[in-house]
Amino acid sequence: METKTAAPTPREIKEAEARHLFQTYKRAELYCSHGEGAYVFDLEGRRYLDFLAGISVNNLGYGHPRIVRALAEQGARLVHCSNLFYNQYQGLLAKKLAEVSGMARAFFCNSGTEAIEAAMKIARAWGRAQGGAGKAKILSLNNSFHGRTLGALSITAQEKYQAPFRPLVPGVEILGETTVAALEAAFSDEVCALVLEPVQGEGGVFPMPADFMRAARGLCDRHGALLVADEIQCGLGRTGKWFGFENYDVRPDVVTLAKSLAAGYPLGAVLGGEKVAETLRPGDHGTTFGGGPLACRLALEVLSVIEDEGLIENARETGDFLMGGIAGLGRVHPAVGEVRGVGLMIGVELGGIAKEVVDRLLGKGIIANATHDTVLRLIPPLVVTKEQCEEFLAMLHAVLGNIEAER
């Protein structure tokens, strides 16, 4: 039987959105229809090579047959049954995530920002249990991004996001700079947690300095605070390891996940080590949708595909290849500044032309993104091939050449 969902034209879509949506997004002129592998197709059938992957969500690419099968089978069986009852997959997914992360327990929610909210509640509950009501301070880093709900926004240290919504949640201190000295100065026994992204994403693709990560672990231990790794963007294979923190010799106490976890179906998770295993008790936290059977079955399939197809190794190898290629372009195009990143999470400093480069790439059938105004952010699906990286590099070369010729 046919569904009754309308199939509107681009014009109808744009008009309806302009009139009836809160205008929270500045959309590019791309009307997505469907996808296949690393490619997205628009409503007119034009093909785009996707070097953004839905902002690190579509890590298996589009239309992966195992995901399509799991969606169809589980969609027909059971989408939701509430957390008042058991479903087949939530416990299994928690077990698998414990295996790959070294954590002990999971709580499932529906987005990254909710995973951060849960981590903040774990931090506050942990602090209270260890040191009473005074041990409630949460430290976060300049330039960080942890989400948009009021709790998550309070530790998202970017003025443009915070300013319109003050007052925010109290008991948060933002480090002015990501240095060991600043961290030492901010730490005290009042701190219950330090939250950081092992590789900052929205802030412009900045891997944490190794000495900073080591100091973070040491100071958390000395002051009885939790180290929370926000792996929402950099986790699940993207950096060439299961988790971004594995690129350092440091193990966090709490890990947040979302984005690619269930292949685009909304699912977030907070994972906690043995130390915090008893922190949340019945009634302390909950959500209607989190950890539903469809989301968890999809996530189990995602983790299994990552292993079966060697996608972590692919992220490392194609990431190195891509980074090398961009560094090569830097030798011929003066606009290319620092190239940094890990695995398939790469940032390219392009100064004032970053947004223009992104627009022109789109015109040539490549989806990429500029973050933090000046940084070209490349986060292709983990299934991307070297040939597709070459295709991307050729287009970037052409776009940079065109811009230079016009100036």
Residue 259 falls in the annotated catalytic set: yes
Residue nearest to ligand PLP (CB): 112
Token reading at 47: 């093909």
112 binds ligand PLP (CB under 6 A): yes
Torsion angle defined by CA atoms of residues 283, 287, 290 and 293, in that order, rounded to the nearest 10 degrees: 80
Residue 232's nearest CA partner among 328, 141, 116 is 116
Count the residues of the shown chain that bind ligand PLP, applying the rule CB under 6 A: 15
The one segment of 28-36, 130-138, 183-191, 225-233 that binds ligand PLP by CB under 6 A: 225-233
Q: How far apart are the first and last CA of the chain?
A: 57
Nearer to ligand PLP, 11 or 160 (CB): 160
CB nearer ligand PLP, residue 113 or residue 388: 113
- Based on the residue annotation, tell me whether 230 is a catalytic residue of this protein: yes
202 is an interface residue for ligand PLP by CB under 6 A:
yes
314: contact with ligand PLP by CB under 6 A: no
For position 111 contacting ligand PLP by CB under 6 A, the verdict is: yes
Please name the residue that has the structure tokens 């791309």: 30
Judged by CB under 6 A, the residue of 96, 105, 135, 146 near ligand PLP is 146
- Token pair in block for residue 341: 């990143």
108 is catalytic: no
Query: Which residues in 34-61 are b (16+ Cβ under 10 Å) and which e?
Result: ebebbbbebeeeeebbbbbbbbbbbbbb
For residue 161, the 8-state DSSP code is H
**Residue in 201, 204, 293, 380 binding ligand PLP, rule: CB under 6 A:** 201
Site for ligand PLP in 37-56 (CB under 6 A): 55
Q: Which residue, among 302, 341, 338, has the nearest Cα to 318 in the 3D structure?
A: 341
Span of 1-9, 194-202, 277-285, 332-340 interacting with ligand PLP by CB under 6 A: 194-202
User: Going by C-beta distance under 8 Å and a sequence separation of 6 or more, which residues neighbour residue 229?
Assistant: 196, 197, 198, 243, 244, 245, 252, 254, 255, 256
Size (the chain), residues: 407
Instruction: Please give the Cα distance from 15 to 117 (Å, whole number).
Output: 35
Q: For the CB of residue 340, give the shortest distance to ligand PLP in the complex, in Å.
A: 16
Closer to ligand PLP by Cβ: residue 270 or 383: 270
Contact between 147 and ligand PLP (CB under 6 A)?
yes
Q: Among the options 50, 230, 243, 253, which is catalytic?
A: 230
Closer residue to ligand PLP, CB minimum distance, 107 or 145: 145
260 interacts with ligand PLP by CB under 6 A? no
Q: Is 117 in the site for ligand PLP (CB under 6 A)?
A: no
Q: Closest approach of Cβ 109 to ligand PLP, in Å?
A: 10
Joined tokens for residue 309: 């197809």
- Interaction between residue 372 and ligand PLP (CB under 6 A): no
Work out the angle at residue 289's Cα, subtended by the Cα atoms of residues 293 and 127, and round it to the nearest 5 degrees.
Answer: 110
Q: Which stretch binds ligand PLP (CB under 6 A): 23-31, 142-150, 238-246, 374-382?
A: 142-150
Non-local CB neighbours of 94 within 8 Å, separated by 6+ positions: 105, 106, 108
Point out which residues bind ligand PLP (CB under 6 A). Answer: 55, 111-113, 116, 145-147, 197, 201-202, 230, 232-233, 258
Q: Catalytic residues, which ones?
A: 145, 230, 259
